[in-house]
Structure 1
Protein backbone atom coordinates (compact mmCIF):
# COMPACT_ATOMS: atom_id res chain seq x y z
CA UNK A 1 0.00 0.00 0.00
CA UNK A 2 1.17 3.50 -0.87
CA UNK A 3 0.78 5.62 2.26
CA UNK A 4 -0.58 8.95 1.07
CA UNK A 5 -1.32 12.34 2.67
CA UNK A 6 -3.52 15.05 1.12
CA UNK A 7 -2.58 18.67 1.86
CA UNK A 8 -4.89 21.40 0.58
CA UNK A 9 -6.41 24.49 2.19
CA UNK A 10 -9.80 23.82 0.55
CA UNK A 11 -12.00 21.14 2.10
CA UNK A 12 -13.83 20.45 -1.16
CA UNK A 13 -10.52 19.94 -2.96
CA UNK A 14 -9.42 17.41 -0.33
CA UNK A 15 -12.73 15.59 -0.68
CA UNK A 16 -12.38 15.51 -4.48
CA UNK A 17 -8.89 14.01 -4.21
CA UNK A 18 -10.17 11.39 -1.77
CA UNK A 19 -12.88 10.37 -4.24
CA UNK A 20 -10.37 10.10 -7.07
CA UNK A 21 -7.92 8.05 -5.01
CA UNK A 22 -10.68 5.70 -3.86
CA UNK A 23 -10.51 4.11 -7.32
CA UNK A 24 -6.92 2.98 -6.61
CA UNK A 25 -6.85 0.17 -4.03
CA UNK A 26 -3.06 0.33 -3.78
CA UNK A 27 -3.33 3.80 -2.20
CA UNK A 28 -3.91 4.18 1.54
CA UNK A 29 -4.90 7.69 2.61
CA UNK A 30 -3.32 8.13 6.04
CA UNK A 31 -4.58 11.66 6.65
CA UNK A 32 -5.08 15.17 5.37
CA UNK A 33 -4.06 18.68 6.35
CA UNK A 34 -5.28 22.21 5.64
CA UNK A 35 -2.41 24.47 6.72
CA UNK A 36 1.38 24.46 6.70
CA UNK A 37 1.60 23.66 10.41
CA UNK A 38 -1.03 20.92 10.14
CA UNK A 39 0.86 19.40 7.22
CA UNK A 40 4.15 19.27 9.12
CA UNK A 41 2.46 17.66 12.11
CA UNK A 42 0.62 15.15 9.88
CA UNK A 43 3.82 14.15 8.08
CA UNK A 44 5.60 13.60 11.38
CA UNK A 45 2.65 11.61 12.74
CA UNK A 46 1.76 9.43 9.73
CA UNK A 47 5.11 9.11 7.89
CA UNK A 48 3.54 9.11 4.39
CA UNK A 49 5.38 7.88 1.32
CA UNK A 50 3.56 10.32 -0.95
CA UNK A 51 1.98 13.75 -0.44
CA UNK A 52 -0.49 15.41 -2.79
CA UNK A 53 0.40 19.01 -2.02
CA UNK A 54 -1.39 22.23 -2.87
CA UNK A 55 0.87 25.26 -3.30
CA UNK A 56 -1.25 27.91 -1.61
CA UNK A 57 -1.79 26.97 2.05
CA UNK A 58 -2.95 30.22 3.60
CA UNK A 59 -1.11 33.14 5.14
CA UNK A 60 1.51 31.18 7.11
CA UNK A 61 3.28 29.65 4.11
CA UNK A 62 2.94 27.64 0.93
CA UNK A 63 3.86 24.19 -0.37
CA UNK A 64 7.44 25.23 -1.10
CA UNK A 65 7.82 26.47 2.49
CA UNK A 66 6.65 23.07 3.66
CA UNK A 67 9.36 21.27 1.71
CA UNK A 68 11.99 23.69 3.01
CA UNK A 69 11.09 22.78 6.59
CA UNK A 70 11.36 19.01 6.08
CA UNK A 71 14.74 17.32 6.52
CA UNK A 72 13.63 14.24 4.55
CA UNK A 73 10.49 15.06 2.56
CA UNK A 74 8.34 12.25 1.15
CA UNK A 75 7.58 12.02 -2.54
CA UNK A 76 5.64 15.08 -3.65
CA UNK A 77 2.97 15.59 -6.28
CA UNK A 78 1.84 19.20 -6.50
CA UNK A 79 -1.87 19.77 -7.10
CA UNK A 80 -2.76 23.36 -7.94
CA UNK A 81 -4.87 25.62 -10.11
CA UNK A 82 -1.81 27.60 -11.23
CA UNK A 83 0.35 26.38 -14.12
CA UNK A 84 3.05 29.01 -13.56
CA UNK A 85 4.59 27.15 -10.60
CA UNK A 86 5.48 24.05 -12.60
CA UNK A 87 9.14 24.94 -13.19
CA UNK A 88 9.67 25.68 -9.49
CA UNK A 89 7.89 22.43 -8.57
CA UNK A 90 10.18 20.24 -10.64
CA UNK A 91 13.19 22.21 -9.37
CA UNK A 92 12.43 20.82 -5.91
CA UNK A 93 12.19 17.28 -7.34
CA UNK A 94 8.43 16.90 -7.41
CA UNK A 95 7.41 13.63 -9.05
CA UNK A 96 4.53 15.28 -10.91
CA UNK A 97 2.44 18.44 -11.21
CA UNK A 98 -1.34 18.22 -11.49
CA UNK A 99 -3.68 21.03 -12.48
CA UNK A 100 -7.11 21.32 -10.89
CA UNK A 101 -9.63 19.97 -11.61
CA UNK A 102 -7.72 16.68 -11.69
CA UNK A 103 -8.92 14.19 -14.28
CA UNK A 104 -9.05 10.49 -13.29
CA UNK A 105 -6.89 9.47 -16.27
CA UNK A 106 -4.25 12.04 -15.38
CA UNK A 107 -4.19 10.87 -11.76
CA UNK A 108 -3.67 7.27 -12.92
CA UNK A 109 -0.67 8.44 -14.97
CA UNK A 110 0.72 10.18 -11.90
CA UNK A 111 0.42 7.11 -9.70
CA UNK A 112 2.15 5.02 -12.37
CA UNK A 113 4.91 7.62 -12.48
CA UNK A 114 5.26 7.49 -8.70
CA UNK A 115 5.54 3.70 -8.80
CA UNK A 116 8.17 3.78 -11.55
CA UNK A 117 10.13 6.43 -9.66
CA UNK A 118 10.16 4.26 -6.54
CA UNK A 119 11.18 1.20 -8.54
CA UNK A 120 14.12 3.03 -10.12
CA UNK A 121 15.38 4.35 -6.81
CA UNK A 122 14.93 1.06 -5.00
CA UNK A 123 16.49 -1.03 -7.77
CA UNK A 124 19.53 1.22 -7.95
CA UNK A 125 20.09 1.40 -4.20
CA UNK A 126 19.02 -2.08 -3.10
CA UNK A 127 17.76 -0.49 0.09
CA UNK A 128 14.44 0.54 1.56
CA UNK A 129 13.22 3.92 0.30
CA UNK A 130 10.09 5.67 1.55
CA UNK A 131 9.32 2.53 3.55
CA UNK A 132 9.26 0.16 0.55
CA UNK A 133 11.47 -2.75 -0.52
CA UNK A 134 12.09 -3.68 -4.16
CA UNK A 135 11.95 -7.43 -4.79
CA UNK A 136 13.71 -7.87 -8.10
CA UNK A 137 13.32 -11.02 -10.22
CA UNK A 138 14.51 -11.56 -13.82
CA UNK A 139 11.02 -10.69 -15.10
CA UNK A 140 9.65 -8.07 -12.71
CA UNK A 141 10.17 -5.83 -9.71
CA UNK A 142 7.66 -6.18 -6.90
CA UNK A 143 7.31 -3.26 -4.50
CA UNK A 144 6.34 -4.28 -0.97
CA UNK A 145 6.09 -2.54 2.36
CA UNK A 146 7.75 -4.49 5.19
CA UNK A 147 4.34 -4.96 6.84
CA UNK A 148 3.17 -6.84 3.73
CA UNK A 149 5.97 -9.42 4.00
CA UNK A 150 4.88 -12.44 6.03
CA UNK A 151 8.02 -14.61 5.90
CA UNK A 152 11.33 -15.22 4.12
CA UNK A 153 12.98 -18.61 3.62
CA UNK A 154 16.57 -19.16 2.50
CA UNK A 155 17.40 -21.38 -0.48
CA UNK A 156 21.17 -21.22 -0.97
CA UNK A 157 22.05 -17.80 -2.37
CA UNK A 158 18.34 -17.18 -3.05
CA UNK A 159 15.51 -16.18 -0.74
CA UNK A 160 11.84 -17.03 -1.12
CA UNK A 161 9.91 -13.92 -0.05
CA UNK A 162 6.29 -14.49 0.96
CA UNK A 163 4.36 -11.28 0.34
CA UNK A 164 0.88 -11.47 1.86
CA UNK A 165 -1.78 -12.84 -0.46
CA UNK A 166 0.65 -13.17 -3.38
CA UNK A 167 2.72 -16.04 -4.78
CA UNK A 168 6.18 -16.24 -3.21
CA UNK A 169 8.95 -14.62 -5.23
CA UNK A 170 12.50 -15.98 -5.46
CA UNK A 171 15.14 -13.27 -5.12
CA UNK A 172 18.87 -13.59 -5.76
CA UNK A 173 19.74 -12.22 -2.33
CA UNK A 174 20.76 -13.99 0.85
CA UNK A 175 18.57 -14.10 3.92
CA UNK A 176 21.18 -11.99 5.69
CA UNK A 177 20.64 -9.20 3.16
CA UNK A 178 16.96 -8.99 4.04
CA UNK A 179 17.70 -9.31 7.75
CA UNK A 180 19.73 -6.10 7.51
CA UNK A 181 16.85 -4.26 5.80
CA UNK A 182 13.85 -5.39 7.82
CA UNK A 183 13.05 -4.00 11.28
CA UNK A 184 13.43 -6.29 14.28
CA UNK A 185 10.89 -6.46 15.80
CA UNK A 186 8.55 -7.41 14.24
CA UNK A 187 10.79 -9.58 12.03
CA UNK A 188 12.28 -12.55 13.87
CA UNK A 189 15.02 -14.81 12.53
CA UNK A 190 14.32 -18.43 13.48
CA UNK A 191 17.64 -20.01 12.59
CA UNK A 192 19.69 -20.03 9.40
CA UNK A 193 16.86 -20.42 6.93
CA UNK A 194 13.76 -18.56 8.11
CA UNK A 195 12.58 -15.08 9.08
CA UNK A 196 8.96 -14.45 10.04
CA UNK A 197 6.92 -11.32 10.59
CA UNK A 198 5.79 -11.58 14.22
CA UNK A 199 2.86 -9.24 13.54
CA UNK A 200 1.41 -11.79 11.10
CA UNK A 201 1.75 -14.82 13.38
CA UNK A 202 -1.75 -16.19 13.98
CA UNK A 203 -1.30 -19.75 15.25
CA UNK A 204 1.41 -22.07 16.58
CA UNK A 205 1.05 -25.83 16.68
CA UNK A 206 3.84 -27.58 18.55
CA UNK A 207 2.85 -31.17 19.36
CA UNK A 208 6.44 -31.98 20.37
CA UNK A 209 9.76 -30.26 20.96
CA UNK A 210 11.04 -31.69 17.68
CA UNK A 211 9.12 -29.27 15.50
CA UNK A 212 6.18 -26.96 15.02
CA UNK A 213 3.78 -25.57 12.46
CA UNK A 214 2.93 -21.88 12.30
CA UNK A 215 0.14 -20.05 10.52
CA UNK A 216 0.92 -16.58 9.19
CA UNK A 217 -1.68 -14.13 7.94
CA UNK A 218 -1.38 -13.82 4.17
CA UNK A 219 0.20 -17.25 3.54
CA UNK A 220 -1.88 -20.21 2.40
CA UNK A 221 -1.13 -23.24 4.56
CA UNK A 222 1.18 -23.55 7.59
CA UNK A 223 4.97 -23.32 7.59
CA UNK A 224 6.88 -26.26 9.02
CA UNK A 225 9.62 -25.52 11.55
CA UNK A 226 12.48 -27.81 12.47
CA UNK A 227 13.87 -28.40 15.96
CA UNK A 228 16.23 -25.40 15.98
CA UNK A 229 13.64 -22.98 14.61
CA UNK A 230 11.06 -24.24 17.09
CA UNK A 231 13.47 -23.74 19.99
CA UNK A 232 14.21 -20.21 18.81
CA UNK A 233 10.50 -19.50 18.48
CA UNK A 234 9.97 -20.62 22.08
CA UNK A 235 12.56 -18.08 23.18
CA UNK A 236 10.91 -15.21 21.29
CA UNK A 237 7.20 -15.62 22.01
CA UNK A 238 5.27 -15.84 25.26
CA UNK A 239 4.78 -19.35 26.72
CA UNK A 240 0.98 -19.26 26.48
CA UNK A 241 1.22 -18.95 22.68
CA UNK A 242 2.87 -22.38 22.27
Structure 2
Protein backbone atom coordinates (compact mmCIF):
# COMPACT_ATOMS: atom_id res chain seq x y z
CA UNK A 1 0.00 0.00 0.00
CA UNK A 2 1.16 3.50 -0.85
CA UNK A 3 0.27 6.05 1.82
CA UNK A 4 -1.17 9.21 0.25
CA UNK A 5 -2.28 12.60 1.53
CA UNK A 6 -4.67 14.94 -0.31
CA UNK A 7 -3.96 18.67 0.04
CA UNK A 8 -6.49 21.03 -1.53
CA UNK A 9 -8.27 24.13 -0.27
CA UNK A 10 -11.57 23.02 -1.87
CA UNK A 11 -13.59 20.35 -0.06
CA UNK A 12 -15.32 19.19 -3.25
CA UNK A 13 -11.96 18.78 -4.98
CA UNK A 14 -10.71 16.61 -2.10
CA UNK A 15 -13.85 14.50 -2.30
CA UNK A 16 -13.44 14.10 -6.06
CA UNK A 17 -9.85 12.90 -5.61
CA UNK A 18 -10.96 10.43 -2.95
CA UNK A 19 -13.55 8.98 -5.34
CA UNK A 20 -10.98 8.61 -8.11
CA UNK A 21 -8.43 6.97 -5.80
CA UNK A 22 -11.03 4.51 -4.52
CA UNK A 23 -10.54 2.61 -7.78
CA UNK A 24 -6.89 1.99 -6.87
CA UNK A 25 -6.63 -0.44 -3.93
CA UNK A 26 -2.86 0.01 -3.69
CA UNK A 27 -3.39 3.59 -2.47
CA UNK A 28 -4.20 4.21 1.19
CA UNK A 29 -5.49 7.73 1.86
CA UNK A 30 -4.09 8.65 5.27
CA UNK A 31 -5.58 12.13 5.52
CA UNK A 32 -6.53 15.47 4.01
CA UNK A 33 -5.45 19.06 4.50
CA UNK A 34 -6.95 22.36 3.41
CA UNK A 35 -4.30 24.96 4.28
CA UNK A 36 -0.52 25.23 4.32
CA UNK A 37 -0.34 24.83 8.09
CA UNK A 38 -2.73 21.87 8.06
CA UNK A 39 -0.66 20.23 5.34
CA UNK A 40 2.58 20.57 7.30
CA UNK A 41 0.95 19.10 10.41
CA UNK A 42 -0.67 16.27 8.44
CA UNK A 43 2.61 15.32 6.75
CA UNK A 44 4.39 15.22 10.12
CA UNK A 45 1.56 13.16 11.66
CA UNK A 46 0.82 10.66 8.90
CA UNK A 47 4.21 10.43 7.11
CA UNK A 48 2.72 9.93 3.62
CA UNK A 49 4.84 8.60 0.77
CA UNK A 50 2.82 10.57 -1.79
CA UNK A 51 0.99 13.90 -1.69
CA UNK A 52 -1.62 15.04 -4.19
CA UNK A 53 -1.00 18.78 -3.88
CA UNK A 54 -3.02 21.74 -5.07
CA UNK A 55 -1.10 24.93 -5.78
CA UNK A 56 -3.59 27.45 -4.39
CA UNK A 57 -3.89 26.92 -0.62
CA UNK A 58 -5.48 30.14 0.59
CA UNK A 59 -3.87 33.38 1.75
CA UNK A 60 -1.02 31.94 3.88
CA UNK A 61 0.90 30.18 1.15
CA UNK A 62 0.75 27.82 -1.80
CA UNK A 63 1.97 24.36 -2.72
CA UNK A 64 5.46 25.63 -3.54
CA UNK A 65 5.69 27.26 -0.11
CA UNK A 66 4.78 23.92 1.43
CA UNK A 67 7.63 22.14 -0.34
CA UNK A 68 10.06 24.85 0.71
CA UNK A 69 9.19 24.21 4.36
CA UNK A 70 9.76 20.45 4.20
CA UNK A 71 13.26 19.11 4.79
CA UNK A 72 12.50 15.78 3.08
CA UNK A 73 9.26 16.13 1.10
CA UNK A 74 7.37 13.03 -0.01
CA UNK A 75 6.69 12.35 -3.67
CA UNK A 76 4.49 15.09 -5.12
CA UNK A 77 1.78 15.00 -7.76
CA UNK A 78 0.40 18.48 -8.34
CA UNK A 79 -3.35 18.68 -8.94
CA UNK A 80 -4.44 22.12 -10.08
CA UNK A 81 -6.64 24.08 -12.44
CA UNK A 82 -3.70 26.20 -13.61
CA UNK A 83 -1.56 24.94 -16.49
CA UNK A 84 0.92 27.83 -16.22
CA UNK A 85 2.64 26.39 -13.14
CA UNK A 86 3.75 23.18 -14.86
CA UNK A 87 7.34 24.26 -15.51
CA UNK A 88 7.78 25.39 -11.90
CA UNK A 89 6.29 22.11 -10.70
CA UNK A 90 8.84 19.96 -12.46
CA UNK A 91 11.60 22.32 -11.31
CA UNK A 92 10.82 21.17 -7.74
CA UNK A 93 10.92 17.53 -8.88
CA UNK A 94 7.22 16.83 -8.94
CA UNK A 95 6.45 13.36 -10.28
CA UNK A 96 3.46 14.57 -12.28
CA UNK A 97 1.15 17.50 -12.92
CA UNK A 98 -2.59 16.85 -13.21
CA UNK A 99 -5.08 19.40 -14.45
CA UNK A 100 -8.56 19.60 -12.97
CA UNK A 101 -10.95 18.03 -13.59
CA UNK A 102 -8.79 14.92 -13.30
CA UNK A 103 -9.76 12.10 -15.65
CA UNK A 104 -9.62 8.51 -14.30
CA UNK A 105 -7.29 7.35 -17.07
CA UNK A 106 -4.94 10.28 -16.44
CA UNK A 107 -4.80 9.47 -12.74
CA UNK A 108 -4.01 5.83 -13.54
CA UNK A 109 -1.16 6.98 -15.77
CA UNK A 110 0.12 9.22 -13.00
CA UNK A 111 0.15 6.37 -10.48
CA UNK A 112 2.24 4.31 -12.90
CA UNK A 113 4.70 7.19 -13.05
CA UNK A 114 4.80 7.32 -9.25
CA UNK A 115 5.60 3.61 -9.05
CA UNK A 116 8.30 3.87 -11.70
CA UNK A 117 9.78 6.87 -9.92
CA UNK A 118 9.93 4.98 -6.63
CA UNK A 119 11.62 2.03 -8.32
CA UNK A 120 14.29 4.36 -9.71
CA UNK A 121 14.86 5.87 -6.26
CA UNK A 122 15.21 2.44 -4.71
CA UNK A 123 17.57 1.26 -7.44
CA UNK A 124 19.77 4.29 -6.90
CA UNK A 125 19.84 4.31 -3.10
CA UNK A 126 19.36 0.72 -1.96
CA UNK A 127 16.59 -1.68 -1.13
CA UNK A 128 14.51 0.54 1.13
CA UNK A 129 13.28 4.10 0.71
CA UNK A 130 10.38 6.18 2.06
CA UNK A 131 8.98 3.19 3.93
CA UNK A 132 8.93 0.94 0.86
CA UNK A 133 10.97 -2.09 -0.13
CA UNK A 134 11.68 -3.07 -3.73
CA UNK A 135 11.61 -6.82 -4.34
CA UNK A 136 13.45 -7.22 -7.64
CA UNK A 137 13.44 -10.31 -9.82
CA UNK A 138 14.63 -10.63 -13.44
CA UNK A 139 11.03 -10.23 -14.64
CA UNK A 140 9.45 -7.75 -12.23
CA UNK A 141 9.90 -5.36 -9.34
CA UNK A 142 7.34 -5.47 -6.54
CA UNK A 143 7.12 -2.38 -4.34
CA UNK A 144 5.74 -3.12 -0.91
CA UNK A 145 5.65 -1.69 2.58
CA UNK A 146 7.32 -3.86 5.24
CA UNK A 147 3.95 -4.24 6.96
CA UNK A 148 2.67 -6.12 3.89
CA UNK A 149 5.37 -8.78 4.21
CA UNK A 150 4.05 -11.72 6.24
CA UNK A 151 7.07 -14.03 6.21
CA UNK A 152 10.39 -14.83 4.55
CA UNK A 153 11.83 -18.29 4.03
CA UNK A 154 15.42 -19.12 3.07
CA UNK A 155 16.23 -21.32 0.09
CA UNK A 156 20.01 -21.41 -0.25
CA UNK A 157 21.14 -18.04 -1.61
CA UNK A 158 17.50 -17.18 -2.39
CA UNK A 159 14.69 -15.96 -0.17
CA UNK A 160 10.99 -16.58 -0.72
CA UNK A 161 9.17 -13.40 0.33
CA UNK A 162 5.52 -13.95 1.27
CA UNK A 163 3.66 -10.70 0.61
CA UNK A 164 0.09 -10.54 1.88
CA UNK A 165 -2.49 -11.30 -0.82
CA UNK A 166 0.22 -11.49 -3.47
CA UNK A 167 2.10 -14.36 -5.15
CA UNK A 168 5.32 -15.33 -3.41
CA UNK A 169 8.38 -13.47 -4.71
CA UNK A 170 11.72 -15.31 -4.97
CA UNK A 171 14.70 -12.98 -4.53
CA UNK A 172 18.40 -13.65 -5.03
CA UNK A 173 19.21 -12.40 -1.53
CA UNK A 174 19.98 -14.30 1.66
CA UNK A 175 17.66 -14.29 4.64
CA UNK A 176 20.34 -12.43 6.56
CA UNK A 177 20.09 -9.54 4.11
CA UNK A 178 16.39 -9.12 4.87
CA UNK A 179 16.97 -9.59 8.59
CA UNK A 180 19.22 -6.51 8.54
CA UNK A 181 16.72 -4.57 6.43
CA UNK A 182 13.48 -5.22 8.33
CA UNK A 183 12.63 -3.85 11.79
CA UNK A 184 12.68 -6.23 14.75
CA UNK A 185 10.09 -6.24 16.17
CA UNK A 186 7.72 -6.93 14.48
CA UNK A 187 9.89 -9.22 12.31
CA UNK A 188 11.09 -12.23 14.28
CA UNK A 189 13.67 -14.76 13.12
CA UNK A 190 12.58 -18.21 14.26
CA UNK A 191 15.61 -20.14 13.02
CA UNK A 192 18.03 -20.46 10.15
CA UNK A 193 15.34 -20.48 7.50
CA UNK A 194 12.31 -18.43 8.61
CA UNK A 195 11.38 -14.87 9.58
CA UNK A 196 7.77 -13.96 10.37
CA UNK A 197 5.93 -10.69 10.85
CA UNK A 198 4.49 -10.90 14.37
CA UNK A 199 1.86 -8.28 13.51
CA UNK A 200 0.37 -10.72 10.98
CA UNK A 201 0.33 -13.71 13.30
CA UNK A 202 -3.29 -14.85 13.72
CA UNK A 203 -3.16 -18.40 15.06
CA UNK A 204 -0.71 -20.80 16.67
CA UNK A 205 -1.54 -24.48 16.72
CA UNK A 206 0.83 -26.49 18.91
CA UNK A 207 -0.61 -29.95 19.62
CA UNK A 208 2.76 -31.15 20.96
CA UNK A 209 6.31 -30.01 21.71
CA UNK A 210 7.44 -31.52 18.43
CA UNK A 211 6.42 -28.48 16.41
CA UNK A 212 3.67 -26.00 15.60
CA UNK A 213 1.57 -24.62 12.80
CA UNK A 214 0.99 -20.88 12.40
CA UNK A 215 -1.48 -18.87 10.36
CA UNK A 216 -0.45 -15.43 9.05
CA UNK A 217 -2.89 -12.78 7.85
CA UNK A 218 -2.86 -12.48 4.06
CA UNK A 219 -1.28 -15.92 3.46
CA UNK A 220 -3.58 -18.83 2.65
CA UNK A 221 -1.36 -21.78 3.55
CA UNK A 222 -0.21 -22.20 7.18
CA UNK A 223 3.48 -22.45 8.04
CA UNK A 224 4.80 -25.63 9.64
CA UNK A 225 7.42 -25.05 12.35
CA UNK A 226 9.91 -27.57 13.61
CA UNK A 227 10.70 -28.11 17.28
CA UNK A 228 13.40 -25.42 17.50
CA UNK A 229 11.38 -22.78 15.60
CA UNK A 230 8.28 -23.51 17.68
CA UNK A 231 10.27 -23.15 20.88
CA UNK A 232 11.73 -19.86 19.66
CA UNK A 233 8.23 -18.61 18.82
CA UNK A 234 7.00 -19.46 22.33
CA UNK A 235 9.90 -17.44 23.74
CA UNK A 236 9.11 -14.37 21.63
CA UNK A 237 5.31 -14.32 21.57
CA UNK A 238 3.05 -14.38 24.59
CA UNK A 239 -0.36 -16.11 24.25
CA UNK A 240 -2.32 -12.87 24.64
CA UNK A 241 -0.64 -11.40 21.53
CA UNK A 242 -2.39 -13.86 19.18
TM-score by length of 1: 0.96
Q: Distance in 1 between matches of 2:47 and 2:20?
A: 22
* Aligned equivalent of 1:47: 47
Structure 1 residue 75, shift from structure 2 partner: 0.4
Structural mapping, 1:43-192, within 5 Å = 43-192=43-192
Q: CA RMSD in A?
A: 1.4
Secondary structure at the aligned position of 1:203 is classed as strand
Q: Distance in 2 between matches of 1:70 and 1:90?
A: 17
Higher mean displacement: 15-24 or 109-118: 15-24
Unaligned runs of 5+ in 2: none
Secondary structure at the aligned position of 1:93 is classed as coil
4+ runs deviating over 6 angstroms: none
Secondary structure at the aligned position of 1:167 is classed as coil
Count of residue pairs brought into register by the alignment? 242
CA offset digits 1:141-162 (Å, max 9, x no partner): 1111111110000111100000
Q: Distance in 2 between matches of 1:58 and 1:206?
A: 60
User: Aligned pair in 2 of structure 1 residues 64, 241: CA closer, same or farther (>3 Å)?
Assistant: closer
CA offset digits 1:177-207 (Å, max 9, x no partner): 1112211111111111111000110111112
User: Aligned pair in 2 of structure 1 residues 65, 229: CA closer, same or farther (>3 Å)?
Assistant: same
CA offset digits 1:198-230 (Å, max 9, x no partner): 011011111222211111111112111112211
Secondary structure at the aligned position of 2:109 is classed as helix
Tell whether 2:204 aligns with 1:197: no
Secondary structure at the aligned position of 1:78 is classed as strand
Q: Distance in 2 between matches of 1:166 and 1:78?
A: 30
Structure 1 residue 17, shift from structure 2 partner: 0.9
